[in-house]
Structure formats: C-alpha cells, structure tokens
C-alpha cells in the first residue's frame, strides 16, 4: 500500500468515525463520545487525553506542522475532532475545557486558511460556528 492509499484510508476512517460520533451525541452519550474522540486522537495523531487537558497553542502548532507534512486534509480532520470534543464538553457544561479546545480548533482552521489558496466555505462555516459557541461560553462565564 502506497502513502496516498494509506492517507486516503486514514481520512476515510476519520470520516466514518465522525458519523458514528453523531449517533452517540444523538443518544446523549456525551462522555462515551468524548472517550471515543480521545481514542481516535491518540490512534491517528498520537495525542493523549492528558495533553488535551492542557492543550495550548504550542501543542496545536506542533500538531498542525505534523499533519501538514502529510496532508492538509489531516489538519482539517484534527480540527474537526477538536471541534466535536469542544462541543461535547459544552453539552456537559464543562465550559472552560470547551473554550480551550474550541479555541485551538479555531487556530487550526485559521492556519489552514492562511496556508491554502482555496477558500473552503465548509471551513468558514465551522469557524463561524466555533466563534458563536465561544461567545455563548463567554456569556455563561460572565453570568448572563
């Protein structure tokens, strides 16, 4: 199997995973979904849940450069997984964790926008959604 086939399989695995994740979310199994995301992040990107608990821009930058060395699509998948994790944390009222994870997903999307010549409306919509979610978290933090 060549590198392109491996990459294609990896991207398909993540796409299939996102579909399964939606079913967990729909049934309210948020922690199971978070645990599944953590397992996927470890298996696909070698990121542990401990690293996610203290995620910061430095770790995100390292992940960005690592995934970019393979393909931009992997960076997009990583950002999508972080977005899903942040959304699930929000659903569990874990707002500070959600804010941190969503902020890092937004960084990844922003870096992709800066590096790529093509405009992705899907990516832009996700960035708008993340910004809206971050605004809701700020409102909750301020007590409104």
Give the pLDDT confidence score for residue 75 in this predicted structure. 84
Give the pLDDT confidence score for residue 1 in this predicted structure. 59
Q: How many CA atoms lie within 13 A of 116 on its CB side?
A: 18
Indicate the domain borders of the chain. 3-141
Tell me the average confidence (pLDDT) per consecutive run of 10 residues in the chain, 144 residues long.
Answer: 62 80 92 93 84 78 74 83 94 94 92 79 93 94 74
Provide the phi-psi class of 143: left if phi over 0, else alpha when psi is between -120 and 50, else beta.
Answer: left
Long-range contacts of range 136-141, CB-CB < 8 Å, 24 or more positions apart?
136/90, 137/90, 137/95, 137/98, 137/99, 137/102, 138/99, 140/95, 141/95, 141/96, 141/99
Give the pLDDT confidence score for residue 128 in this predicted structure. 96
Confidence (pTM): 0.83
CB–CB of 97/54 below 8 Å? no
Give the pLDDT confidence score for residue 56 in this predicted structure. 75
**Any residues with CB less than 8 A from the CB of 124 and at least 6 apart, and which?**
113
Give the pLDDT confidence score for residue 70 in this predicted structure. 65
Count of Cβ atoms closer than 10 Å to residue 18 Cβ: 15
Give the pLDDT confidence score for residue 132 in this predicted structure. 97
Note the CATH architecture for domain 3-141: Alpha Horseshoe (1.25)
């Amino acid at each position: 199997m060549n590198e392109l086939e491996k990459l294609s399989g990896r991207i398909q695995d993540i796409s299939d995973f996102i579909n399964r994740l939606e079913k967990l979310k729909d049934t309210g199994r948020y922690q199971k979904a978070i645990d599944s995301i953590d397992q996927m992040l470890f298996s696909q990107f070698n990121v542990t849940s401990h690293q996610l608990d203290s995620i910061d821009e430095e770790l995100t930058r390292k992940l960005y450069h690592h995934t970019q060395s393979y393909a931009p699509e992997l960076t997009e998948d990583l950002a999508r997984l972080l977005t899903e994790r942040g959304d699930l944390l929000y659903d569990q009222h874990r707002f500070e964790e959600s804010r941190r994870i969503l902020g890092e997903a937004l960084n990844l999307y922003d870096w992709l926008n800066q590096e790529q010549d093509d405009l992705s409306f899907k990516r832009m919509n996700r960035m708008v959604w993340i910004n809206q979610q971050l605004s809701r978290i700020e409102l909750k933090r301020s007590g409104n």
